[in-house]
């Protein structure tokens, strides 16, 4: 798949099957994350965690559902990639870095036929729960700045189509 096709076909999946992605695909997706543009090239301010332990996933899902009891903010995904950051050499750039890194990983996933979604809700779930932070193993000073779920869409999740331009553009020539 070429890059423009991956950009066009990536869509947020909100219902996953139990089928796990392969280790090789996970490694390729994490590699794509590590190739992202990062402000000041401060790669040391960032850490990626690939969570596939069902019990830990369930705990993150439950912690993230506190704002909406009964919901499942991880949508049953069998893999959650957690991005942690400490203050960068360029203050306040962390969430912009996260956008670049997670978008790279979602596009790599699309290229590999894997479904994904950028998740903000689980970031609060993790950051508000010291036990989760310690189970994830963040070093001192690191907090979660974004997460992304990976897997294969559940059979009953509607097939998502590519869309036309969704952001208004002004050309100034
Ligand atoms: C920074 C960021 C955080 C997001 N967090 C969530 C989330 O917590 N839960 C969710 O269901 N979707 C989340 N989304 C997905 C957006 O709702 C989705 O990208 C948007 O509706 C456009 O749909 P598309 O991704 O299918 O093109 C997030 C997207 C971004 C970029």
Give yes or no for a contact between 103 and 29, defined as CB atoms under 8 angstroms apart.
no
Residue 119 pLDDT level (bands cut at 50, 70, 90): very high
CB 102 within 8 A of CB 150: no
Cβ-based neighbour number of residue 144 at 10 Å: 24
pLDDT band of 105, cuts 50, 70, 90: very high
The token duo for 95 is 């969430």
Structure tokens at 3: 């890059």
Return the pLDDT at 86: 96
Closest atom, ligand 1, to C-alpha of 122: 8
Compute the average pLDDT of residues 71-96.
96
Domain ranges of the chain: 3-151
Chain segment 17-68, per-residue pLDDT in tens: 999 999 999 999 999 999 999 999 999 999 999 999 999 999 999 999 998 9
Which of 11, 12, 100 has most ligand 1 atoms within 8 Å of CB, for mutation? 12
Q: Which atom of ligand 1 is nearest to the CA of 163?
A: 27
Q: Is 120 in the pocket of ligand 1 (CB under 6 A)?
A: yes
Instruction: Give the pLDDT confidence score for residue 163 in this predicted structure.
Output: 83
Query: Tokens at residue 56, please?
Result: 């830990």
- Whose alpha carbon is nearest atom 12 of ligand 1? 119
The span from the CA of 121 to the CA of 79, in Å, is 16
**What mean pLDDT comes out for the span 143-166?**
92
**pLDDT on residue 162:** 82
What is the reported pLDDT for 16?
98
Report the pLDDT value the prediction gives residue 91, as an integer from 0 to 100: 87
What architecture is the 3-151 domain classified under in CATH?
Answer: 3-Layer(aba) Sandwich (3.40)
Go through the chain and tell me how many residues it has: 173
């Amino acid at each position: 798949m070429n890059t423009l096709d991956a950009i066009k076909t990536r869509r947020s999946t909100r219902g996953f099957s139990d089928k796990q992605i392969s280790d090789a695909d996970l490694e390729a997706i994490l590699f794509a994350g590590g190739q992202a543009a990062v402000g000041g090239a401060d790669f040391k301010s960032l850490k990626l965690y690939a969570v596939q332990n069902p019990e830990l996933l369930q705990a993150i899902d439950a912690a993230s559902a506190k704002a909406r009891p009964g919901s499942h903010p991880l949508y049953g995904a069998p893999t959650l990639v957690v991005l942690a950051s400490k203050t960068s050499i360029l203050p306040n750039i962390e969430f912009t870095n996260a956008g670049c890194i997670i978008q790279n990983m979602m596009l790599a996933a699309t290229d590999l036929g894997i479904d994904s979604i950028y998740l903000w809700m689980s970031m609060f779930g993790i950051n508000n729960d010291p036990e989760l932070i310690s189970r994830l193993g963040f070093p001192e000073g690191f907090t979660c700045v974004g997460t992304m779920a990976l897997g294969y869409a559940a059979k009953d999740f509607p097939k998502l189509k590519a869309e036309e331009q969704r952001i208004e553009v002004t050309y100034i020539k």
